[in-house]
Structure 1
Amino acid sequence: MKRKLLLTMATTAALAGLAQPVFAQPEAKGEMMTAPGKAAFSETTKVAATVMKIDAASRTVTLKGPKGRVFDLAVGDEVRNFDQIKVGDKVVAEYKQALTLELKKGGNGITERTEREAGDRAAAGAKPGAAAGRQVTVVANVVAVDMKKQHVTLQGPKGKVNLNVQDPDQLKNIKKGDQVQAVYTEAVAIAVEPATR
């Protein structure tokens, strides 16, 4: 399962990496929320292209983005139901990411990092599609607070990082010795939708 997930993530990451130049003008929506000792940000980007040509022998699909750019995309064996793809179908990729931060007053000093992955692919006989996700949770110690520069230095299990805190009310609540828990989540889903009549 993990090998398939990595292949799926590699495929979706390649597509997501191509999203800006290839698909052009992705639709992105983001939100930011804050509360005392908490902050959250999330964003969803959706891009689409149309299947123009299919080469079954090489498992290559020629796609056309909304700005008219045409490109070839190799479809690996891990993608089920390749034979279900038809000229005129729409390939839709959706990428979601979220970050939450929570201040833990007077933490225990123990830092940690955990990571979870998950993935799925289309059922046999269904239109091709795949989804992959990852969630990373880090607990870091606050080792310095610089009110003038408006940043906090965090020490996590893999090193230090400076975190900018532009909200003065949030910044004045953070003290050396506190901990910050950060949870980063990302998910990618790719689906083939039937051509519209």
Structure 2
Amino acid sequence: MRSSKLIVAAALVSFATAGFAQTEPKVGVKSAPGQVTVTGTVKTTSTVVGIEPATRTVWLKNAHGKVVEVVVGEEARNFGQLKVGDVVNAEYSEAMTITLKKGGAPLGASETQSMERTPIGAKPGGTAGREVTILANVTAVNHQSGVVTLKGPQGNSVDMVVQDPAQLKLIKKGDQMEVLYTEAVAISVEPQAK
């Protein structure tokens, strides 16, 4: 069951991002002492201009006239409901929150996934999401360069640049950082307006 959800989520993500990057993403940054969150969202609208049922290929045209070819996997149900002229709306969002933790909690990583498809017989679409949480140790802090070195639960080290001097002053060797990463995609198909 888990691998089928991964496959469907991957199909939805590739369907949403293959050639849709023509819209300007909305990016936001929020900061509080010991925490920073970065978010980004891209919304797109395209029109189905061609369908090849035998290969499950769909041609989508964006508002700027660019046509993109997308192969829709077998996991995406209701393919037969697609019609030329249908409007495909896609929204992709990501967020990352990094929180400074004082203490000695055990290192760890976890991942959860979610997926929901439209009912059988409806236009294709659905949502897919993923949330990853990692707790890592701060093994070094270079106040001159702003580089903080983190050691993750599998023993790998990562250097992270902290650009805010006030945030950097809060971080000490031996602290921990919790990284929460989320991503989601939502796709809906609407019939051509009469």
User: TM-score, structure 2 length as denominator?
Assistant: 0.91
Q: Which residue of 1 is the match for residue 10 of structure 2?
A: 10
Task: Tell me, in whole angstroms, the C-alpha distance in 2 between the residues paired with 1:3 and 1:168.
Answer: 43
Residue of structure 1 aligned with 2:161, choices 160, 164, 167: 164
Mapping for residues 80-95 of structure 1, pairs under 5 Å: 80-95=77-92
Q: Which residue of 2 is the match for residue 152 of structure 1?
A: 148
1:57 and 2:54 matched? yes
Q: Which residue of 1 is the match for residue 188 of structure 2?
A: 191
Number of equivalent positions: 193
1:176 and 2:173 matched? yes
Report how far residue 161 of structure 1 moved.
0.8
Please, which moves more after superposition, 58-67 or 93-102? 58-67
How well do the aligned residues superpose, as a CA RMSD in angstroms? 1.7
Report how far residue 125 of structure 1 moved.
2.1
Gapped runs of 5+ residues in structure 2? none
Question: Given that residues 24 and 67 in structure 1 are in contact (C-alpha distance below 8 angstroms), is that contact kept between their aligned partners in structure 2?
Answer: no
Residue of structure 2 aligned with 1:130, choices 122, 126, 130: 126
What letter matches 1:185 in structure 2? T
> Runs in 1 of length 4+ with deviation above 6 angstroms?
none
Task: Tell me, in whole angstroms, the C-alpha distance in 1 between the residues paired with 2:21 and 2:134.
Answer: 34
What letter matches 1:146 in structure 2? N
Report how far residue 25 of structure 1 moved.
1.7
Mapping for residues 32-43 of structure 1, pairs under 5 Å: 32-43=29-40
C-alpha distance 72-117 of structure 1, shift in aligned 2 (>3 A) = same
Q: Which residue of 2 is the match for residue 67 of structure 1?
A: 64
C-alpha distance 175-133 of structure 1, shift in aligned 2 (>3 A) = same
Task: Tell me, in whole angstroms, the C-alpha distance in 1 between the residues paired with 2:21 and 2:107.
Answer: 41
Q: Percent identity, aligned pairs only?
A: 48
Question: Given that residues 84 and 127 in structure 1 are in contact (C-alpha distance below 8 angstroms), is that contact kept between their aligned partners in structure 2?
Answer: yes
User: What is the SS of the residue equivalent to 2:4?
Assistant: helix
Gapped runs of 5+ residues in structure 1? none
Question: Given that residues 21 and 42 in structure 2 are in contact (C-alpha distance below 8 angstroms), is that contact kept between their aligned partners in structure 1?
Answer: no
Residue of structure 2 aligned with 1:142, choices 138, 143, 154: 138
Task: Tell me, in whole angstroms, the C-alpha distance in 2 between the residues paired with 1:39 and 1:71.
Answer: 36
Task: Tell me, in whole angstroms, the C-alpha distance in 2 between the residues paired with 1:43 and 1:166.
Answer: 19
Question: Given that residues 16 and 187 in structure 2 are in contact (C-alpha distance below 8 angstroms), is that contact kept between their aligned partners in structure 1?
Answer: no
Mapping for residues 107-122 of structure 1, pairs under 5 Å: 107-108=103-104, 110-122=106-118
Question: Given that residues 11 and 76 in structure 2 are in contact (C-alpha distance below 8 angstroms), is that contact kept between their aligned partners in structure 1?
Answer: no
Task: Tell me, in whole angstroms, the C-alpha distance in 1 between the residues paired with 2:15 and 2:58.
Answer: 13
Question: Given that residues 15 and 72 in structure 2 are in contact (C-alpha distance below 8 angstroms), is that contact kept between their aligned partners in structure 1?
Answer: no
Report how far residue 140 of structure 1 moved.
0.6
User: TM-score, structure 1 length as denominator?
Assistant: 0.90
